[in-house]
Amino acid sequence: MGGVNGAEALRALYALQEKDLEIDRLQKEVETLPEDLLALKAQVEAREAELMALLERQAELRKAYTRHSLDIEDLAAKEKQAEAEQRQAQSAREQTQYENRIQQIKDRIRELLELSTPIMEAMEEVEKEIAQVEETLAQLRPRLGELLAENAKRVEALKEEMARLKEVREAMAGGIPAPVLKEYEAIRRARKGAGVVRMLRQGQVFRCEGCNVVLPTHVAQKVVQGQLTRCPSCGRLLWKGEA
């Protein structure tokens, strides 16, 4: 590639790049969520995490409470049985043995009831906290839904604009030699931005628009001639520009 055709291809490539950079900018906008949405989303997620932790705590407390209740039921049945057996007791000694046994069971039941009381209190506390967090979430979620819907609309509009630009871009690409386009695209992928830059005149020297390096004379000459040339410093294709 050289001469006037090369310069034309680079001019066309530079114009195509303007579309590509505009598409990049829109893509970035798509990916950037509005501040108010981000803030509310973070708030809702924090509350949801809080709720999860509370529900886990509630499940643990319920489990502990159930275990104590079952133990108490079990002991109550044993007490009843001991009382029945006591009525059948044949001797005073046997009576006393049952009495002791019944007393032991009663003590154990009282212990378990004492242990259950703070669990019940904690359960009530957790239930209150759950209700509060759920209420807060119920207040926050509709607004979050609104903001998400607004954002979806915003993104949709951006994507329509991008699709339109891509069509224009594809039409432009048709007029550029495939190897030039391919090289440009490879550079864009590697450099994440411009693939072709202008050569800027500054007094007696030429600089690369992309990295600002002063270009060696033989490079500048090639660029002026319209040869496909890359900046020796940043590797971007150089176009001599309109001047």
# chain residues binding Zn ion, by CB under 5 A: 6
Tokens of 42: 């973070």
Asked whether 159 and 193 are in contact (CB, 8 A), the reply is no
| Options 158, 211, 214, 224; binder of Zn ion; rule CB under 5 A | 211
Binding segment (CB under 5 A) for Zn ion, from list 111-119, 147-155, 199-207, 223-231: 223-231
| Whole-Å CA distances, 34 to 41, 154, 234 | 11, 10, 34
CB of 33 to Zn ion, least distance (A): 34
Q: Decide if residue 102 touches Zn ion (CB under 5 A).
A: no
Q: Choose one: 51-59, 92-100, 164-172, 205-213; the region binding Zn ion (CB under 5 A).
A: 205-213
Nearest to 81 by CA among 101, 96, 66, 67: 101
User: Binding Zn ion by CB under 5 A: which of 210, 222, 239, 240?
Assistant: 210
Q: Does 234 bind Zn ion (CB under 5 A)?
A: yes
**237-239/205-208 β-pairing:** unpaired
Structure token digits, residue 25: 């900018």
Q: How far is the CB of 235 from Zn ion (least distance, A)?
A: 7
Residue from 119, 133, 208, 223 that binds Zn ion (CB under 5 A)? 208
Shortest Å, Cβ 26 to Zn ion:
26
Both tokens assigned to 67: 């275990």
- Enumerate residues 6+ apart whose C-beta is below 8 A from 23: 162, 165, 166, 169
* 231 is a site residue for Zn ion (CB under 5 A): yes
CB atoms closer than 10 angstroms to residue 58: 16
Tell me which stretch binds Zn ion (CB under 5 A): 52-60, 104-112, 117-125, 200-208. 200-208
- CB-CB contact of 196 with 13 (8 Å): yes
- CB 182, min distance to Zn ion, A: 20
Residue 237 binds Zn ion, judged by CB under 5 A: no
Query: Given the rule CB under 5 A, which of 5-13, 21-29, 81-89, 208-216 is the region that contacts Zn ion?
Result: 208-216
6's CB contacts (< 8 A; 6+ apart) are: 225, 226, 227, 228
> Which pair of tokens denotes residue 164?
């339109």
Minimum Å distance from CB 236 to Zn ion? 5
Smallest distance from Zn ion to CB 219, Å: 10
- Which tokens belong to 184? 């440009």
Q: Which residues bind Zn ion (CB under 5 A)?
A: 208, 210-211, 231, 233-234
